[in-house]
Amino acid sequence: MHELSIVADLFTIIEEKARESGASRVTKVRVLIGELSGVVPELFRTAFHSYKKGTIADRARLEIKITRVKFRCLRCGKEIKTRDISSPDFSYACPFCGSKEVELESGRDLYLEKLELET
Amino acid sequence: MEKSKKEVLVLEDILGSNKRLAASIRQKLRENGILAVNLLSSPGSGKTSLLEKIGLCLKDRYRIGVIEGDIETERDAERIRKIGLHAWQITTHGACHLEAKMIARIFDQIPADLDFLFIENVGNLVCPASFDLGESLRFVLLSVPEGDDKPRKYPEAFITSQGFVITKCDLLPHLPFDVERVIGEAREINPKLEVFKTSALSGEGLEQLCAFLEKKLEELRKQNA
C-alpha cells in the first residue's frame, strides 16, 4: 500500500500548481496511471479522497485514466500495444514474429495530467 | 459573483520529486566511484543472509556499506555490523518501501571512500519497485520455497531489475520448483536479466555473483575515468 506516499507527492504538485495559477479551489484532478506502474487505481482513489481533506482540493473529483503497456520487439523492432496484462492469455511474446525478446517501452508512468481550478 | 472555472494542463510526473532526488544521489555515488545495489524481495527470501555472504566474500578487498530498510527494529543492521561492515538502519515505522528522501536523510553518514553500497529494501515484492533510490543496479531475489510462478505475478519488480537472484537453491532437491521455468518466465518479462542461482548455506553461486559485482564496479569506474 504505497499509494498514500504517491498521493502525498501528487498533492505537493497540486498545491504548487494551484498557487501558481492563483486558484482558490481545485475542483477536478485527472491522473494517468500506467498499467505496470505498480499502483492500484482503487487504492489510489481511496488514498486521494482521504488525503484531500483540509487541502485546496478538498472537494475535488478524481479522474483516473489507465495507460496501457507498450513493448518493443528487440528482434523485428515493431511496437507492441497490449490489451490487458493481467488476463490469463496475455503473452509477453511478440505477436508479429513470436520472439520472446521484448522490451518495455511505456506503461510504468504516473502523471498528473490536468487540473480544473476555480479562481 | 460567480466563480470562473478553468482547466490547466500539467503533465507532471507524480514521482518526479523522488526521481530527481534519486538522480542526484546516483550522481554523487558515481562521482565517488561507489556502486549502489538495491535489493528487492518478499520478506524472508534471504536478502540479509545473501548480503552477509557477499560481505564476507568481498570485505578483505573492498569497503562495503549496507543500508537496511525495515518497518521496525535494528536487527538486520546488527547482523551486518557483526561481520565488520558499515550498516545504517532505516526504520520506516509502517511504510512498505524505501524512498529516495529516506536515503538522502542519512546520506552524510555514508563514507565517500566506499566501493559498494548495498540497500536492502523493506521486504515486499510490490511497492519498492516503484521507487528509484539512486542505485546503479537493482536485484530482485526469489527464494525456492516461494514458488516458481512469481515473475508474472509481480512483473514490475522483474522489469525494473538488472539482476535476478534465486536464493536457497540448496532446497531444490526437496521442493517442486522448476528453475528453468522461473528463469524462462523472468526473461520473458525482461530479456536482459542476469540470473544467479545461489545458496547462502552451501555457498553455491556466490562466487559468480561477487565476480559480477566486481565487474560492474570496474565498469562504473571506467566510465568515471
B135 within some domain? yes
User: Per-residue pLDDT averaged across A12-26, rounded?
Assistant: 96
List the grid coordinates of B211. 565476480
Domain tally for chain B? Answer: 1
CA gap B133, B25 in Å, rounded: 8
Cβ contact, residue pair B17, A12, below 8 Å = yes
- Higher pLDDT: A90 or A53? It is A53
The predicted structure's pLDDT at residue B166? 98
Domain tally for chain A? Answer: 1
Contacts of A21 in chain B (CB under 8 A): 6, 8
Condensed to tens digits (0 to 9), the pLDDT of residues B103-116 reads 999 999 999 999 99
Q: To the nearest whole angstrom, how far is the Cα of A54 from the nearest Cα of chain B?
A: 20
B216 within some domain? yes
B1 within some domain? no
pLDDT bucket at A88, cuts 50 / 70 / 90: confident
Residue numbers of the domain that contains A55: 3-69+108-118
Position A100 pLDDT exceeds 90: no
A86 within some domain? no
Residue numbers of the domain that contains B59: 34-224
B27 within some domain? no
pLDDT bucket at A90, cuts 50 / 70 / 90: confident
B22 within some domain? no
What residues does B163 pair with on adjacent strands? B139, B194
The predicted structure's pLDDT at residue B1? 56
Centre a 10 Å sphere on the Cβ of residue A47 and count the other Cβ atoms it contains. Answer: 22
The predicted structure's pLDDT at residue A82? 80
A98 within some domain? no
Centre a 10 Å sphere on the Cβ of residue B130 and count the other Cβ atoms it contains. Answer: 22
Condensed to tens digits (0 to 9), the pLDDT of residues B192-222 reads 999 999 999 999 999 999 999 999 999 999 9
Residue among A16, A21, A92 with most chain B CBs within 10 A, to mutate = A92
Beta strand A110-118 with A25-34: parallel, antiparallel or unpaired? antiparallel
Q: Does A108 touch chain B (CB under 8 A)?
A: yes
CA gap A7, B122 in Å, rounded: 20
The predicted structure's pLDDT at residue A50? 96
For position A114, which CATH number holds?
A: 3.30.2320.50
Phi, psi angle pair for A57, to nearest 5°: -110, 30
Task: Report the SS3 class of residue A18.
Answer: helix
For position B173, which CATH number holds?
A: 3.40.50.300
Contacts of A93 in chain B (CB under 8 A): 188
B114 within some domain? yes
The pTM is what? 0.93
Instruction: Please choose, from the candidates A16, A42, A14, A7, the residue with its C-alpha nearest in 3D space to the C-alpha of residue A28.
Output: A14
pLDDT bucket at A85, cuts 50 / 70 / 90: confident
Q: To the nearest whole angstrom, how far is the Cα of B122 from the nearest Cα of chain A?
A: 12
What b/e readout covers B197-207, taking b as 16+ CB neighbours within 10 angstroms?
A: bbbbeeebbbe
Tell me if B12 sits within 8 A of A112, measured CB to CB.
yes
Tell me if B160 sits within 8 A of B129, measured CB to CB.
yes
Contacts of B160 in chain A (CB under 8 A): 108
pLDDT bucket at A22, cuts 50 / 70 / 90: very high
The percent helix, strand, coil of chain B (3-state, each to 5) is: 45, 20, 35
**How many residues are present in chain B?**
225
Residues of chain B with pLDDT under 50: none
Cβ contact, residue pair A9, B18, below 8 Å = yes
